Amino acid sequence: MADAATTHAPQPKGATAALVFADGHVAWGRGFGATGHAVGEMCFNTAMTGYQEVMTDPSYAAQVVCFTFPHIGNVGSNAEDVEGAVDSAVGCVVREDVTDPSNFRSMGDFPAWMRENGKIGIAGLDTRALTRRIRVQGAPNVAIAHDPDGNFDIPALLARVQGWQGLEGLDLAGPASREVQESWTGDVWELGTGYGAAADEARPHVVAMDFGAKDNIFRNLVRAGARVTVVPARATADEIMALEPDGVFLSNGPGDPAATGEYAVPVIRALLDRDVPIFGICLGHQMLALAAGAKTTKMHQGHRGANHPVQRVGETWGDTQGLVEITSMNHGFAVDGDTLPDGVVETHRSLFDGTNCGISIRGKKAFGVQYHPEASPGPQDSFYLFERFVGELG
pLDDT in tens, 317-344: 667 889 999 999 999 999 999 999 999 9
- Does residue 374 carry a catalytic annotation? yes
Given this model, what pLDDT does residue 5 score? Answer: 43
> Which of 282, 285, 308, 357 is flagged as catalytic?
282
- Residue 2, pLDDT > 60, answer no
- Residue 146, pLDDT > 70, answer yes
Where does the pLDDT of residue 380 fall: very low under 50, low under 70, confident under 90, or very high at 90 and above? confident
What are the chain's domains? Answer: 2-162 (3.50.30.20), 173-391 (3.40.50.880)
Given this model, what pLDDT does residue 4 score? Answer: 44
Q: What is the DSSP string of 193-256?
A: TEEEE--SS---EEEEEESS--HHHHHHHHHTT-EEEEEETT--HHHHHTT--SEEEE---SB-
Given this model, what pLDDT does residue 3 score? Answer: 44
Given this model, what pLDDT does residue 201 score? Answer: 76
Given this model, what pLDDT does residue 1 score? Answer: 37
Share of the chain above pLDDT 90, in %: 88
- Does residue 372 carry a catalytic annotation? yes
Q: What's the rounded Cα separation, in Å, for the pair 7 and 305? A: 34
- Residue 6, pLDDT > 50, answer no
Antiparallel, parallel or unpaired: β 344-350 and 296-312: antiparallel
Contact status, residue 328 vs residue 291, Cβ threshold 8 Å: no
Per-residue pLDDT reduced to its tens digit, 38-80:
999 999 999 999 999 999 999 999 999 999 999 999 999 999 9
Where does the pLDDT of residue 87 fall: very low under 50, low under 70, confident under 90, or very high at 90 and above? confident
Q: What's the rounded Cα separation, in Å, for the pair 75 and 100? A: 8
- Residue 373, pLDDT > 80, answer yes
- Give kind and range of the element (H or E) at residue 356: strand 356-361
Over range 220-247, report the average pLDDT.
97
Per-residue pLDDT reduced to its tens digit, 152-179:
999 999 999 999 999 999 999 999 999 9
Given this model, what pLDDT does residue 375 score? Answer: 82
Average model confidence (pLDDT) across the chain: 94
Over range 233-257, report the average pLDDT.
98
Over range 287-299, report the average pLDDT.
98
**132-141 burial, b if ≥16 CB within 10 A, otherwise e?**
ebbeeeebbb
Q: What's the rounded Cα separation, in Å, for the pair 216 and 237? A: 25
Q: Under the phi-then-psi rule, with left for phi > 0, alpha for psi from -120 to 50, and beta for the rest, what region is 323?
A: beta
Given this model, what pLDDT does residue 195 score? Answer: 87
Where does the pLDDT of residue 7 fall: very low under 50, low under 70, confident under 90, or very high at 90 and above? low
Given this model, what pLDDT does residue 244 score? Answer: 97
CA torsion angle 41 44 50 51 (round to 10): 50
- Its pTM stands at 0.95
For residue 27, with 0-12 CB atoms within 10 Å meaning exposed, 13-18 middle and 19 or more buried, which class applies?
buried
Over range 85-102, report the average pLDDT.
93
Q: Which has more confidence, 321 or 133?
A: 133
- Give kind and range of the element (H or E) at residue 257: helix 257-273
CA torsion angle 86 87 88 94 (round to 10): 120
